[in-house]
Amino acid sequence: MDVHVTRSTLRGTARAPPSKSYTHRALLAAGYSDGATVESPLVSADTRATARAVAAFGGSVARAGDGSSTAEGEPGLTGADALSVEGFGGRPAVPDDVIDCANSGTTMRLVTAAAALADGTTVLTGDESLRSRPQGPLLDALADLDVRAESTRSNGRAPLVVTGPLAGGEVAIPGDVSSQYVTALLMAGAVTEEGIEVELTTDLKSAPYVDITLELLADFGVEATPVDEDGDPLDGAAGAAGFSVPGGQTYAPSDETYAVPGDFSSISYLLGAGAVAAAPGEPLRIEGARPSAQGDAAIVEIVERMGAPVDWDREAGAIAVERGDLSGVTVDVGGTPDLLPTIAALGAVADGETRIENCEHVRYKETDRVSAMAEELEKLGAETTEGQDVLTIHGGESDLVGATVDGRADHRIVMALSVAALAAEGTTTVRGAEHVDVSFPGFFDAMADLGATVERGDARGRE
C-alpha cells in the first residue's frame, strides 16, 4: 500500500502504542510460566508471531474474556486490552509443525533458544527478509551447550533446525551483533537444570534492550545478574562482561498479571512529528510515556538538544513537544539502534550537520537502515554522507521536496520517512506503508487525527 503525506500542521493529543519489545518478552515469559495475563499488549504482526510460537510449544494465547485464541484465528487478538496466556510450564513441547516467525527477528531469536529446551526437533523459518538476517552466533552458542542447532543452508540464516533438550552450562557469545542473542539465552537459561553462565567476547551493544529483559525477568520472579570481568554483580547490562542465570527457576508474575508499558521507539515518531510540524505555540501531547528500562527514551533528550521544547511529566506519563528551529547534533546509537531512522529524518529538517555514530549494527535489521535512510532521504532532497559506522545528514544543504520514497518493507523506515514528509514541500508518497503493522498499526490513523494530510491507496483516493 502507498500512503501520500502532504506537508501539514499538527495539533492535539496522541497515545503511544504499547512496547513491542516488552510484549514479545512478556508473551514468551508467560509461556514459560504456568499461565499469566498480559495487560496492554501490542498486538501487531511481530507479536502475533511470538503468540503463535507459544501456542506451537503447547501453550495458548487468547483475548482475555472471550477465548478467541491463536488456535482459533489471530484476528481475534487484534485490539485486545489483555491477553490470557496458558503456559507450557517451562518445558516446551515439540511443535507439530514448522514455526513461522514471519518478519520478526525478535521472535526467531527468543524462540530459537526456547526450542532448545524441547526434547526433540523444532524447525523455524520466516519471510525473505528474516531468512537473510544473521542467527549464527546464537546457533554456535547453543551448539556449545550440546544442542544441535543448525542453519539448513549452512550460512547462519533461517530456516533453522534445533534439537534439544538444553541442560544449561557455560557459553561465550559476541555482544556486538545482536543483544537478542543474550536475551534468548537468559530467558531460556532460567528454566534449565544447570542454569547458564554467559560470557561476552565483545562489548555489548544495545545494552538497554538487555536491561528491558532483566527488568521483565524480575517482574516474573526470575533472577538474572549482569557481572563484571571478576564475576561481581552489576546494576545493569551496560559494561557487563557476562551474565549469570541460576537454573530451576519458575516464571510467575505477581498476581499472575504483567502490564506492558508504552513504546518509546514508537514515541520517537510522534515526538519527531511534533518537533517539525506542531502548530506554532500549541504543544503536541503524547500520552503513554511512563519511565521504564527502555533506552529509546533517549529520544526525548535528543529532540530537546536539537532545539524543540519538550516537557516530560514522568509521573503522568505525558510528553508535550513544540515545533522548534532544529539544529544538527551528534548522537551515538550503539545502545539505541532503533532511533537511527527518526534521528536521520529530523537531521534532514534541521540546520547544520547531524552525525549518527556507532551505527554499523543498524545495518542488520529488517533492512540496512543506514543505507535505506541515506538513499531515501536523498530522494526528498537531503544531502547525506554514509560511512560503515557513521551516517551524516547535512541539514544545512538540504531542501526537502515531496517525492516517491520506498519504505523498504521496514516499519521504522516507513514511519521516519513520513515524519520527514511533514516538513517537505508538497506531497510525499511512501511505498510499503502497510508495514507499520509490525509495531504501530495505528500510526497513520494517529497522524491523521493530529491533522496530518494522509491519503492511502496505490493511487490518490483508491485503496
Q: Which residues are annotated as a binding site for phosphoenolpyruvate?
A: 20, 105, 133, 180, 369, 412
Distances (CA, A) of 215 to 24, 180, 236, 313, 375: 14, 15, 10, 22, 37
Half-sphere exposure of 188 (CA within 13 A, CB side): 29
- Binding site for 3-phosphoshikimate: which residues? 20-21, 25, 178-180, 206, 338, 365
Amino acid at 390: V
- 458 catalytic per annotation: no
Using alpha carbons only, what angle is made at residue 267 by residues 348 and 287, rounded to the nearest 5 degrees? 135
The length of the chain in residues reads: 463
- Catalytic residue (one of 211, 338, 406, 410): 338
- Residue ranges of the alpha helices (H) in 62-205? 105-115, 136-144, 179-189
Amino acid at 31: G
Which run of H or E residues covers position 23?
helix 20-32
Give the three-state DSSP class for 134: coil
Amino acid at 62: A
Closest to 382 measured CA to CA, from 369, 392, 390: 392
Written in H, E and C, the secondary structure of 347-402 is: HHHCECEEEEECCHHHHHCCCCHHHHHHHHHHHCCCCEEECCCEEEEEHHHCCCEC
Give bridge partners of residue 316 from the DSSP assignment: none
Distances (CA, A) of 31 to 25, 50, 86, 89, 425: 10, 10, 7, 7, 49
Which run of H or E residues covers position 48?
helix 45-56
Closest to 81 measured CA to CA, from 101, 60, 66, 102: 66
Considering Cα of 208, then 209, then 215, then 217, what sign does the dihedral take?
A: negative
Which residues are identified as catalytic?
Answer: 338
